[in-house]
Chains A and B, each alone.
Chain A
Amino acid sequence: MTWWWWRGACGVALAATAAAACGGGPDQTLDKVASWGASARLAAENRAAGATSARYTRNVLHATHAELEENVSALHAALDSSADSSKLAPPLRARALAAATVVERTVGLMARSADSAPGDRRALLRLAARADSAGEVASALADSAKKP
Chain B
Amino acid sequence: MKKIFDVALGIVTGIGGFLEVGSITTAAQAGASFGYRLAWAVAIGAFGLIVLSEMSGRLAAVSGRTLADAMRERFGFRFFVIPLVVVLLVSFLVLASELGGVALALQMATNVSLRWWVLIVTVVAWALLWKGTFSIIEYGTAGLGLVALAFVVAAVKLHPHWGQVAGGLVPTQPADDRAHYWFLAVSILGASISPYLYFFYSSGSIEDEWDVTYLKMNRVVAGLGNALGGLLALAVLVVAARVFLPRGIEVERGEQLAMLLSSPLARWGFAFFIMALGVNCFGAATEIALSCAYLIAQGLGWEWGEDAHPKRHARYSLAYTVLLFLAAVPMAAGVDPLKLTNVSMALTAASLPVTVIPMIVLMNDEALLHEHTNKWAGNAALAVLALLSVVLLVAALPLQLMGGG
Contact = CB atoms under 8 A, between A and B. Distances in A.
Interface stretch (B73-81, B261-269, B283-291): B261-269
Given A39-B249, A56-B108, A63-B255, A46 B263 contact: yes
Given A16-B402, A35-B248, A51-B269, A59 B394 contact: no
A19 B402 contact: yes
A94 B365 CA distance: 69
B111 interface: yes
Interface in B309-368: none
B402 A35 contact: no
B247 A15 contact: no
Which of A59, A67, A146 lies at the interface centre, i.e. has the most chain B CB atoms within 10 A of its CB? A59
Given A38-B247, A59-B255, A67-B253, A51 B107 contact: no
Interface of A (DSSP majority class):
helix
B401 interface: yes
Interface residues of A, number: 34
Contacts of B176: 146
A81 interface: no
B248 A139 contact: yes
Nearest to B32: A35
B401 A20 contact: yes
Interface string A30-45: 0110110011011101
Contacts of B259: 39, 42-43, 46, 52, 60
Interface in B23-77: none
A17 B401 contact: yes
8 contacts: A13-B397, A16-B401, A19-B402, A20-B401, A34-B248, A46-B263, A51-B270, A56-B270
Interface of A: 9, 12-13, 15-17, 19-20, 31-32, 34-35, 38-39, 41-43, 45-46, 49-53, 55-56, 59-60, 63-64, 67, 135, 139, 146
Interface of B: 107-111, 176, 243, 247-250, 252-253, 255-256, 258-259, 262-263, 265-267, 269-270, 394, 397-399, 401-402
